[in-house]
Amino acid sequence: MHSSAHHPHGQGAARVPRSLRAGLALILLSCLLIPGLSLADSPSRLLSGLYPGLSDALAAAQLVQGGLDGVGIVRDREAEGYRLLLAESVDPAQILAAQRVAERAGLRGLQVVLANGTPAPALPADHGRSRDINDREVAIQEAMVVRGRGELADVEPVHRDVGLTSVQLIGYTRRADAQRDARALGQAGIANQILSSTYERGFSVSAGVFFDEHNARELARLLISRGFDNARLVPLRGSVEHYRLVTVTRDAPPRPDPTAITLTPAAPSAEGGVLVLGSAQPSPTFAMPATATDTGGMRVGLDQLRAETGWLPDDRARADGSHYLHASVLAEWPLSDRWSARLGARADSYLQTGDRDFDRTELDYGETYLRYREPGRRVTLGAQTVLWGKVDELPPTDRLSVQDASRFMLDDLQDRRRAVLAARWEEFVGDYKVDFLYVPMFRAAEMPHEDSIWSPVDRSRGRIIGMPANPLMAPLVSQGRFTEDDGGTGGWGIRLSHAGRGMDYAFTVQDARHSLPYYELNPQVRAALLANPMDIPGALAAAPDTFIARHPQTWVVGGDLGFSLGRSTWRFEGAWLSDQPATTEDLRFVTVEAFDWVGGVEFFPGDADFRVNLQLGGRHLLDTREPLLDRENIYTLFGDAENTFVQNRWRARLRFSLGLDKRDTYINPEVAFISWEPHELYLGYHHFDGAEDTLGGFHRNHDLITLGWRARY
Amino acid sequence: MCKVSTRSLLLGFLICGLGLLTVAPVLADEVAGKRLAQRVYDRPDGDDMSTRGAMVLEEQGRAPRTRQMFTYRLDKGYGEVWSLIRFTAPSDIAGTGLLTLDHADGTSDQWVYLPALDRSRRIPAARKGGRFVGSDLVFEDLQDRKVEMDRHRLLGQETVSGVPTQVLESIPVDASNSTYGRRVSWVHEQSLLPLRIDFYAPGRDDNPAKRMEVHRLEQVQGIWTVMDSSVTDLGTGHRTRIVMEAVVYDQRLPESLFSSQALEDPARESAHRP
């Protein structure tokens, strides 16, 4: 049962005991060597049988190269073939050992000869190589050159049956039609040939024959895309003939590095499948992105940091400094392929110095949610920021997000939103998306401290932003008490959007609450004031709260559209609101219908890095049956322009908003050093000006010079 | 009937013959050039491709800036090519995505996803100039450029770092659809990939403004792939090196990967990362 294990070298070893074979061989070898004793200096050679071709000899050499040192190849001129020189020695034991190795490798016809006289020169078998050449004459010429150097060379024809794929334009019954399309192919740079079938009537045009079917498919696709709907793949059988030049030289041929080939200065061979050009480039020392398997862990850390100091140069301002610190952190867990969770938190510190100084630090939750996703669906539950719409700065259909007005409009749009507890269901069908959002509890806009210069209520002047100066209201604003009506649900909305070829568009219907407060004069205070306009203390005493910050519910029906035209992108967005808050001239709070719209174009002058985004917006209060204190039609030109310079190390940017119907100016130039990634250092200026009932006019003493640092981690 | 003298006839033939002798080599170079350009365009590059790599912005005397990214490409055939680039670092652009749908008729749609806003924005695909994320690549360098958009001419054969190449000149047929006035490519015959491209600004034929050089090619799944290359602004010396660490072909990327849904949700694409 165990015999095979004891005779691992095959059946021959099983027939004759190994020790007996070795002894017989040694005796035979000794007999052979006896006649040559007088030539003791002449070694013996162990030669293989005859191989008619050099490639056969090289293949045989590979079988024994692992067990023998220095296998050579000699040309046997008489027998017109090649033999392997397996060993050359005066020591019979060495010859015998080599013979054993050769036999085990399966070599046949071994013979031991004396190397007396001038033995045929042997060349190292591991110096052999082969190269395929299509032209027979070229191959023969090269072989002659090698032989002329006293080295070995053979030219061997190689025939190979192959499966090919032909790309053909088929179905021509008239040769003229085939010729017409053949010419068209030729003009497109595609070599072709007209074929006529022996067995069938008709013609076809062959546009190429490929070994690799993939290449054939690529060409067929190309032809079909160019209108040749009759392009087909036709399987063919064929044979390929070329000539293999096999050489064995004295010098070792260049060996390809298994990982790379340096191509200079010698002409390269790319047989290894790798091509390195020029001197090797230093290895990358930078980090590579994580692979899919690396992303399975939890991510915890800083999200954003920001520090800004602001100086107000205008002596009429209530403050001389307005400073800001911000930090946000997040933790993300990819719980499984479908589930993920996120926890976010933020801290904001506001410091104001001057006549009205204060400092305030607030903690708030950031986006904190549980998310489920599957193909075509995503569901998110928790605090989240959902920003609908297409245009920048003031998207009219963005009515369910929570505005952050704690710094008025000093920051970009993405920094002017807060998270709100909501349930969101996104359903994707092809290029369409249905987005449903429900906000169970209303969260009002984040507002500044009442002493902040960025507050919409200026108690020192008795003014509310956006309203004309009113001597009747001023003492109420200055001395009154404010409360907020921010209870109830936040509303819901649905948005159907399409992002596809040519244009993007969306429609939305929402039942929303106004995020920014609108200050209603308490009806009891109003009644007292109207009864006796001179009795301000009486009016203030008429109710516990003088003003109520309202967030009226409104229906919103809107849509947006975006498309590219040449090198510009156009965006349009509009929304009808059923209930826009307003105040009548007799100080009564009402809601009226309104229509907000924005149309804009983004383009790149000179087709370079300079980007300009121009937007024109309007707000119209509709169906106003009585005179209002509010502006009934507002037209604004706003947007931004941005450019990078000095090798993208610096960025210059200008944000602006200009009233068209009334003077209302906001200009914010900023220069930022952005090369120190992910940090940015910036210097900015915020300029406000305008008529008294405009935003710019309300803040016209609040020009601000800022110097800041921000980083995103 | 007018008579044509033998002398006039001979003179006519002579002029025509000289004209042909002058024009014929030029025409031959153009035919060969277009053929080579078509072969380069049609070279095997898989039905789809995913890469993991980095873009390094290098400048003398300054620390390099690195953009890490994943890229995906789907060749739907008939000239319809879709691609998605997702940046993962630095953190200020992490999550940013660029989705490009190049259509068979030469038109394109392009969106960029801005994670800070959680919004994707359509951007003009016809934009050619403008640096791509601050690199030395402009948007045109990332776009599928059809062969017929340029006039091609074979200039000859040269070696690049010891490698024999064919030199191909490409000049836009319509000057307005390229930021370059001329491109000269050194095309490696075996891989059909340009090992070097010199880009000339319009009207500036004397010196190239920019140079792309390949440093390493590898056969990945039998397809020649540029694994290490650089683009150098020859005026400033600023260089962008693009290194691929992993490339996978033909993993049957789904069409849904090239949608606004996947663009706005990086988690959907992470399963296909190489």
Determine whether the interchain pair A501/B267 forms a contact, defined as Cβ–Cβ distance below 8 Å: no
Query: How much is the mean pLDDT over chain A?
Result: 85
pLDDT score, position A8: 36
Amino acid at B198: D
Determine whether the interchain pair B42/A215 forms a contact, defined as Cβ–Cβ distance below 8 Å: yes
Query: What SS3 class is residue A23?
Result: helix
Which burial class, exposed, middle or buried, applies to A646 when counting CB atoms under 10 A from its CB (0-12, 13-18, 19+)? Answer: exposed
Provide φ and ψ at A23, rounded to 5°: -65, -45
Which of A104-118, A497-511, B238-252 has the weakest average pLDDT? A104-118
Interface check for A308 against chain B (CB to CB < 8 A): the answer is no
Maximum CA pair distance of chain B? 85
pLDDT score, position A36: 40
B115-162, pLDDT tens digit by residue?
Answer: 988 999 999 988 888 888 888 999 888 888 889 999 999 999 999 988
> Which pLDDT band, with edges at 50, 70 and 90, does B27 fall under?
low
pLDDT score, position B125: 84
Candidate from A219, A290, A562 with C-beta closest to B42: A219
pLDDT score, position B25: 57
Determine whether the interchain pair A263/B256 forms a contact, defined as Cβ–Cβ distance below 8 Å: no
> Which pLDDT band, with edges at 50, 70 and 90, does A199 fall under?
very low
B-proximal residues of A, 391-450, CB under 8 Å: 413-414, 428, 431, 433
Quick check: B18 pLDDT over 60?
no
Determine whether the interchain pair B35/A189 forms a contact, defined as Cβ–Cβ distance below 8 Å: yes
> Which pLDDT band, with edges at 50, 70 and 90, does B1 fall under?
very low
Residue in chain A nearest B31 by alpha carbon: A189
Provide φ and ψ at A43, rounded to 5°: -75, 170
Shortest Cα–Cα distance, B148 to chain A (Å): 9
Mean pLDDT value across residues A476-505? 94
Residue in chain B nearest A651 by alpha carbon: B134
Mean pLDDT value across residues A548-554? 96
Q: Which two tokens stand for residue A312?
A: 């107000």
Mean pLDDT value across residues A591-603? 97
Mean pLDDT value across residues A323-334? 95
Candidate from B91, B120, B243 with C-beta closest to A499: B120
How far is A112 from A119, CA to CA, in rounded Å? 13
Mean pLDDT value across residues B83-104? 91
pLDDT score, position A64: 83
Quick check: A409 pLDDT over 50?
yes
Determine whether the interchain pair A564/B65 forms a contact, defined as Cβ–Cβ distance below 8 Å: no
Interface check for A330 against chain B (CB to CB < 8 A): the answer is no
Mean pLDDT value across residues B184-205? 93
> Which of A292 and A104 is assigned the larger pLDDT?
A104
> Which pLDDT band, with edges at 50, 70 and 90, does A636 fall under?
very high
B226-245, pLDDT tens digit by residue?
Answer: 999 999 999 989 999 999 99
Determine whether the interchain pair A292/B270 forms a contact, defined as Cβ–Cβ distance below 8 Å: yes
Mean pLDDT value across residues A109-122? 77
Residue in chain A nearest B242 by alpha carbon: A284
> Which pLDDT band, with edges at 50, 70 and 90, does A265 fall under?
very low
Residues of B in contact with A386 (CB under 8 A): 118
Shortest Cα–Cα distance, A567 to chain B (Å): 5
Mean pLDDT value across residues A184-194? 83
Which of A70-84, A107-121, A332-346, B220-234 has the weakest average pLDDT? A107-121
Mean pLDDT value across residues A673-683? 92
Determine whether the interchain pair B124/A431 forms a contact, defined as Cβ–Cβ distance below 8 Å: no
Quick check: A672 pLDDT over 70?
yes
Cβ–Cβ under 8 Å, residues A680 and A673:
yes
Residue B130 DSSP one-character state: S
Determine whether the interchain pair B261/A428 forms a contact, defined as Cβ–Cβ distance below 8 Å: yes
Quick check: A697 pLDDT over 70?
yes
How far is B195 from B226, CA to CA, in rounded Å? 9
Residue in the block written with tokens 């090992």: B195
Candidate from A290, A501, A648 with C-beta closest to B134: A648
Determine whether the interchain pair A608/B64 forms a contact, defined as Cβ–Cβ distance below 8 Å: no
Provide φ and ψ at B10, rounded to 5°: -60, -40
Residues of B in contact with A373 (CB under 8 A): 265, 267-268
> Which pLDDT band, with edges at 50, 70 and 90, does A263 fall under?
very low
Q: What is the ipTM of this complex?
A: 0.84
Nearest residue to B217 (alpha-carbon basis) of A276, A257, A265: A276
CA angle A232–A236–A237, rounded 5-degree value = 175
User: What percent of chain A stands above pLDDT 70?
Assistant: 86
Candidate from B88, B160, B260 with C-beta closest to A289: B88
How far is A369 from A274, CA to CA, in rounded Å? 48
Quick check: A13 pLDDT over 50?
no
